[in-house]
Amino acid sequence: GSLVSASIKFSNQPAQLFKYSSSRLPIISINTEGQTIPTDPKIKVSFFAIDNPNGINQLADTQLMTKSKMLVEIRGNSSSGPNSPKKGFLVRVIKEDGSDSNMALLGLPKEHDFIFNNFFGDVTYTKEVMSYDMYRRIGRYASRTKYFELFINGDYRRIYCLFEKIK
State residue 163's pLDDT score: 96
Using an 8 Å Cβ cutoff, are 102 and 87 in contact?
no
pTM: 0.84
User: How far is 64 from 106, CA to CA, in rounded Å?
Assistant: 11
- Type of residue found at 49: A
Tell me the pLDDT band of 79, cut-offs 50, 70 and 90: low
State residue 78's pLDDT score: 64
**pLDDT of 82 higher than 80:** no
**pLDDT of 15 higher than 80:** no
User: How far is 149 from 131, CA to CA, in rounded Å?
Assistant: 21
Average confidence (pLDDT) over 3-12: 84
User: How far is 142 from 164, CA to CA, in rounded Å?
Assistant: 9
Q: What is the pLDDT of residues 121-140, one digit of tens each?
A: 888 999 999 999 999 999 99
User: How far is 113 from 14, CA to CA, in rounded Å?
Assistant: 44
State residue 105's pLDDT score: 94
CA-closest candidate to residue 143, choices 132, 152, 134: 132
Average confidence (pLDDT) over 5-32: 86
CB neighbours (10 Å) of residue 107?
11
Average confidence (pLDDT) over 145-155: 95
Report the run of H or E that residue 129 belongs to, with start and end: helix 127-137
